A = this chain, B = another copy of it.
Amino acid sequence: MSVLSFHPEPGQYAWTFGGAAPLATVRSGDVLELFTEDCFAGRVTTEKDLVTQVCEFPFLNPQTGPFYVEDAEPGDTLAIHFISIEPARDQAASTTVPLFGALTSTHTTATLQPPLPERVWIWELDRIRRTCRFTAADSDFQVDLPMDPMHGTVGVAPANLEVRSALVPDAHGGNMDTPEMRAGVTCYLGVNVAGALFSLGDGHARQGEGETCGVAVECAMDTVIAIELVKGRPTPWPRLESDTHIMTAGSARPLEDAFRIAQLDLVQWIANDYGLSELDAYQLVSQGVESPLANVCDTNYTSIAKMRKEYLPAASGSAGSGYGSHQRLRAKAAEYWQQSRSRPL
């Protein structure tokens, strides 16, 4: 088993999907141990560190990568399995950002009203008890919420010759900000350019569904992934697979279009890989789907469609989903844990 470790130097982060030179070349089957910096590039460490003062646009949401995947070509799919996602520090930060977030006017939902105040909250992380402590700014309330680490951003270089900011979610993945991107999950991304050029970042110790204020409990992460290249199979929009569910992620505006994309892709995935007709799949999804929102604040909104595997026929060709990658990468993860003693379960 090939295990590679990457902890980028300050100047090595990428700020876009596409348009950045690869950090390294990797192969299908490799395990990667990655350090990801938080979305503020590590600059918000106290309540006094206002993003508009300490951060330098557009250098937000640093990406670890991109990685060039050997043999990856347009029309293939890259499967990225999250073996573990662990906060790298004992605290995390969140904040309001002027004219950003769901409960404020923004640069596109533009109004004449002044922005909300800019305020920072520092969350204490207890990595043993696996909690995130909220401390109110205007009263003496504190509460511990369960830690549920995830990556807000994972993606490949986009199609159509484009380069997109790391803050954007779209068909190439990117800043989807879904809590479903947690350890144990496999993410499928369609390859648009030679080498796929995937990267990830934007760790969240936890996040509410929709990321209402636009910012989660942002923290640096130590993350382990295993990758597999699925040759000759395109994937139109990001898909996820856990032991229990298959999931799709649609990103668009308005939010109903993000919903439509995810639900249609789920219906068509089931029709294609599980042998139901499209109308039967439409009916079954209508009654069985879970539809947790991911983000309603980014340049595109992201909606998840999520179906229990036990509600579906057996997938064609292979166990799990039609890709088969999830099972193989789960086995790879088990192998990795056997070899590794240095990380907590």
Question: What residues of chain A have their CB less than 8 Å away from a CB belonging to chain B?
Answer: 15-16, 18-19, 57-58, 94, 96, 102-105, 107-117, 119, 121, 123, 132, 134, 136-139, 141, 143, 145, 159-165, 167, 206-217, 250, 252-257, 259-261, 263-265, 267, 275-280, 282-293, 296, 301, 303, 305, 311-313
* A266 nearest CB across to chain B (Å): 9
A131 CA to B145 CA, complexed, in Å? 34
Check B108 against A276 for contact (C-beta < 8 Å).
Answer: no
List the B side residues contacting A217 at CB < 8 Å: 287
Check B277 against A138 for contact (C-beta < 8 Å).
Answer: yes
Check B259 against A210 for contact (C-beta < 8 Å).
Answer: yes
Checking B110, B137, B257 against A260 with a beta-carbon cut-off of 8 angstroms, the contacting residue is B110
> 19 other contacts beyond A111-B116, A116-B279, A137-B280, with CB at 8 A cut-off?
A18-B163, A58-B160, A58-B161, A103-B110, A103-B267, A105-B105, A109-B257, A111-B260, A112-B267, A117-B279, A119-B283, A134-B287, A137-B279, A141-B280, A208-B289, A209-B290, A216-B286, A291-B293, A293-B303
Check A216 against B108 for contact (C-beta < 8 Å).
Answer: no
Checking B18, B143, B253 against A311 with a beta-carbon cut-off of 8 angstroms, the contacting residue is B143
Check A112 against B280 for contact (C-beta < 8 Å).
Answer: no
A269 CA to B116 CA, complexed, in Å? 19
Checking B16, B103, B252, B267 against A282 with a beta-carbon cut-off of 8 angstroms, the contacting residue is B103
List the B side residues contacting A138 at CB < 8 Å: 276-277, 279-280
List the B side residues contacting A264 at CB < 8 Å: 103, 110-112
Check B165 against A163 for contact (C-beta < 8 Å).
Answer: no
Check A313 against B162 for contact (C-beta < 8 Å).
Answer: no
List the B side residues contacting A265 at CB < 8 Å: 110
Q: A108-B257, A111-B103, A138-B279 are in contact. Are A162 and B252 (CB under 8 A)?
A: no
List the B side residues contacting A105 at CB < 8 Å: 105, 111, 113
List the B side residues contacting A160 at CB < 8 Å: 57-58, 165, 167
Q: A139-B277, A165-B161, A277-B138 are in contact. Are A256 and B254 (CB under 8 A)?
A: yes
Q: A162-B165, A291-B292 are in contact. Are A208 and B285 (CB under 8 A)?
A: yes
A134 CA to B307 CA, complexed, in Å? 15
Check A19 against B141 for contact (C-beta < 8 Å).
Answer: no
List the B side residues contacting A58 at CB < 8 Å: 159-161
Most chain B C-beta atoms within 10 Å of own C-beta, residue among A19, A210, A261: A210
Checking B114, B132, B209, B275 against A291 with a beta-carbon cut-off of 8 angstroms, the contacting residue is B209
7 tightest A-B CB contacts, nearest first? A254-B254, A138-B277, A209-B291, A255-B255, A208-B289, A163-B163, A213-B286
Q: A96-B282, A136-B277, A282-B96 are in contact. Are A114 and B112 (CB under 8 A)?
A: no
Q: List 22 A-B residue pairs with CB atoms under 8 Å apart, sorted by A's residue number.
A: A57-B160, A102-B259, A102-B260, A103-B112, A103-B260, A103-B282, A105-B113, A109-B257, A110-B264, A112-B282, A113-B116, A136-B284, A139-B277, A143-B311, A145-B288, A162-B164, A209-B292, A212-B286, A252-B253, A259-B293, A260-B296, A292-B292
Q: A164-B162, A277-B138, A313-B141 are in contact. Are A114 and B113 (CB under 8 A)?
A: yes
